[in-house]
Structure 1
Amino acid sequence: MNGEYRIRMAYQAILNHDFEQAIEWFEQAVREEPDNADYHYRLSITYARSNKLSSALKLAKRAAALDPQHEVYGTHSRNLQGRELAQKASKLMEQGTGDWSRAAALLRRAIRLDGLNLEAHMLLGMAYMGLRRYSQAEEALREALKLDPGREEAQTMLKQLNDRAKLSKR
């Protein structure tokens, strides 16, 4: 068998909604052709969709290193790095330690890596609210709403900020 056959089998598994089997087929293709950037990339996507972010990121970085001229591989790697930073920031914020500044720094980096990361914009708005930097919170939430105008959570948080601003003017 060759790598292309294994890739076809992986996609067949995906069509059958058997993502674990797809991962196995992709892994076999990568083992068979370890210098094939496209196989690393495809496995990375499947890992990411299966919420296996650290494995996805490792493979995405490898694909980008194997073929640095391929723009899609680099973009995918940066997007996953941004997701990882947003997850780290979210964990910091959930701990309740009040490390809002560190969380905000991670989220700004995440957004620089992937400006379309809706979750990072939302979390950055929350972090700025925690820091009482309301104008920056509003800006982050407005950016989130540009990405998803119907996002109720962002609309609610923005309304809270506006209500707070009205109260402070009294």
Structure 2
Amino acid sequence: MNGENQIQKAYESILGHDFEKAIAWFEEAIAAEPNNAAYHYKLSITFARSNKLLKAIEYASKALELEVENEVYRYHLQVLHARELVEKALKQLSLESEHAERVIFLLKEAITLDPLSIEAYLILGEAFASRKDYARAYQTVQEAIRLEPHHEIAKQKAALYQLKMK
């Protein structure tokens, strides 16, 4: 028995914006073909889009375990780990400014894993600004602008940090 029929049903559910049903169909496909890495990968993407990051990481890890050489699976898992680090950094940043060093470490690690994470650059800029290191805050959001030139929040933050440097 293969899971292709369930995969088609999962895609139909996604097109109907029913992500919970899509997850159930992907899980059924995996039950039918537990060693099909692509099914684990697809379920991981659906979990990630549903903001269920830990489940997304779990299934992305399994996909990579099944196909160790697959660079797409490896990159997807890296991006998920980067999102996890950004979430941890956000929680710590909101606690106290005394956690700024830890936040900066987490965000630099996230950027290493996913150098295209605009969110990581913006939050890293905030962490530098919380230490009144406006030059580094400005440099950091400039990197976000380089990646996405029309990002309004990044441009606003850059202007703010530039003013505070004067």
Question: What interval of TM-score do these two structures reach, taking the shorter chain for normalisation?
Answer: over 0.9
The alpha carbon displacement at 1:34 in A equals 1.6
1:11-31 CA distances to partner (integer Å, 9 max, x unpaired)? 011111111110000011112
- The whole-number CA distance in structure 2 between the counterparts of 1:106 and 1:163 is 27
Contact 1:38 1:63 in 2 (8 A): yes
- The whole-number CA distance in structure 1 between the counterparts of 2:65 and 2:131 is 38
How many pairs are equivalent? Answer: 166
- 130-139 or 109-118, which moves further after superposition? 130-139
Q: Find the counterpart in structure 2 of residue 82 from structure 1.
A: 82
TM-score by length of 1: 0.93
The alpha carbon displacement at 1:48 in A equals 0.5
Contact 2:100 2:127 in 1 (8 A): yes
Q: Which runs of 5+ in 2 are unaligned?
A: none
The yes-or-no answer on 1:27 pairing with 2:27 is yes
Q: Find the counterpart in structure 1 of residue 64 from structure 2.
A: 64
The alpha carbon displacement at 1:91 in A equals 0.6
1:96-149 CA distances to partner (integer Å, 9 max, x unpaired)? 353010001000000000001110011111111112222221121011112222
Q: Find the counterpart in structure 2 of residue 40 from structure 1.
A: 40
TM-score by length of 2: 0.95
- 58-67 or 91-100, which moves further after superposition? 91-100
Q: RMSD over aligned Cα, in angstroms?
A: 1.2
Identity, in percent, stands at 44
Superposed counterparts of 1:47-126, under 5 Å = 47-126=47-126
Q: Find the counterpart in structure 1 of residue 5 from structure 2.
A: 5
Structure 1 SS opposite 2:98: coil
- The whole-number CA distance in structure 2 between the counterparts of 1:61 and 1:147 is 28
